Amino acid sequence: MLMFIIRRLVQTVPVIIGVTFVVFFIMQLVPGDPAVLLAGEGASKDTIEAIREQLGLNRPLYVQYFDYLMNLANGDFGVSLKNSQPVLDEILVRLPITLELALFSILITIVLGMGAGIISAVKPYSMQDVGVMLVALIGISLPSFWFGLMLMYFFSVKLQILPVAGWDSLLHVILPALTLGAGGAAIVARMTRSSMLDVIRQDYIRTARAKGLRERLIIYKHALRNALIPVITVVGLQFGALLGGTVLVESIFAINGLGRMIVDAIRMRDLPMVQGGVLFASLIFVIVNLFVDVFYRFFNKRIELN
């Protein structure tokens, strides 16, 4: 197990380097010059060139990228072009907010998704199965930004029972977490139903029923445990999707998290901030995938990690 974890961590190095490479050169295609944005409208050419030289933007791109990698290896994520603050400090302030939002959202995804999938699989092709899958289909189809705005309008504007924006209390978590988690819950529900149906048809489930075991025990101890492997995979992938979704949801609900920071940095062409934000998001996704692989072994002892 330990060697498996070490190997996976080593394998993340080229992944992270690839992320920095892609983000760096994509940012070069974004219209606008950071030096012009920093100098402001009406700045002279000499002022703009001085800023470019100060930031090292007049050097060849490959030199800028190589210097960035060297600084990154030394733990230096650079300085924000917008506010001249260390990128790492800005990220560490906002990262916990995004992680809280993602964790609450994945909790909603797991509870609603697996619960709905189990209910649907217990009585396949019944009215409750059709109803649950219809709701799941609607959940997959709805754009998250539209769903978030509708939740905001209904619960914050009309009913006035939940705050419309911010991140100051547990009440502020409900709407953005539900916005993020609803779509994932629909996907998990469909996967849980499919996996449970495959397991329920197995001979050992028929044997358990023939022995007179309670149906609840059969479903939750025998069927669900063996049906969890593909569900865990989907949940892991959904966590990565949630991290990407925070960019939109944090902007809608005015949450000062990592996603909103990346959006603001892209507008300002603040390359160090964009690089740092995407890098941390990628690291979190890689770590989550590692935990998913470990959970495989936990739920099924026959799986070998190598």
- Where residue 83 falls among pLDDT bands split at 50, 70, 90? confident
Give kind and range of the element (H or E) at residue 65: helix 61-73
pLDDT in tens, 138-164: 878 888 888 888 888 888 888 888 888
Q: Is the pLDDT of residue 299 over 70?
A: no
Most confident residue range from 4-8, 137-141, 274-278: 274-278
CB of 275 within 8 A of CB of 23? yes
**pLDDT score recorded for residue 257:** 87
Average pLDDT over the chain, rounded to an integer: 82
**pLDDT score recorded for residue 264:** 85
- Where residue 281 falls among pLDDT bands split at 50, 70, 90? confident
Helix, strand, or coil here: 297? Answer: helix
Q: Which residues contact 241 (CB under 8 A, 6 or more apart)?
A: 184
pTM (2 d.p.):
0.79
Q: Is the pLDDT of residue 303 over 80?
A: no
CB of 269 within 8 A of CB of 52? no
**Nearest by Cα to 239 from 105, 62, 125, 40:** 105
CB of 163 within 8 A of CB of 202? no
**pLDDT score recorded for residue 301:** 57
The whole-angstrom distance between residue 300's C-alpha and the CA centroid of its chain comes to: 26
Q: Is the pLDDT of residue 68 over 70?
A: yes
Q: Is the pLDDT of residue 3 over 80?
A: no
Dist. CA 186–CA 109, nearest whole Å: 8
Percent of the chain with pLDDT over 70: 95
Task: Give the residue, 113 or 145, on which the prediction is more confident.
Answer: 113
Q: Is the pLDDT of residue 279 over 70?
A: yes
HSE at residue 214, side-chain half, CA atoms within 13 A, is 4
Range 60-74 average pLDDT: 84
Q: Is the pLDDT of residue 55 over 80?
A: no
Range 243-261 average pLDDT: 85
Dist. CA 215–CA 212, nearest whole Å: 9
Task: Kindly list the domain boundaries of the chain, sorted by start residue.
Answer: 2-73, 87-299
- Where residue 297 falls among pLDDT bands split at 50, 70, 90? low
* CATH number given to 87-299: 1.10.3720.10
Q: Is the pLDDT of residue 90 over 70?
A: yes
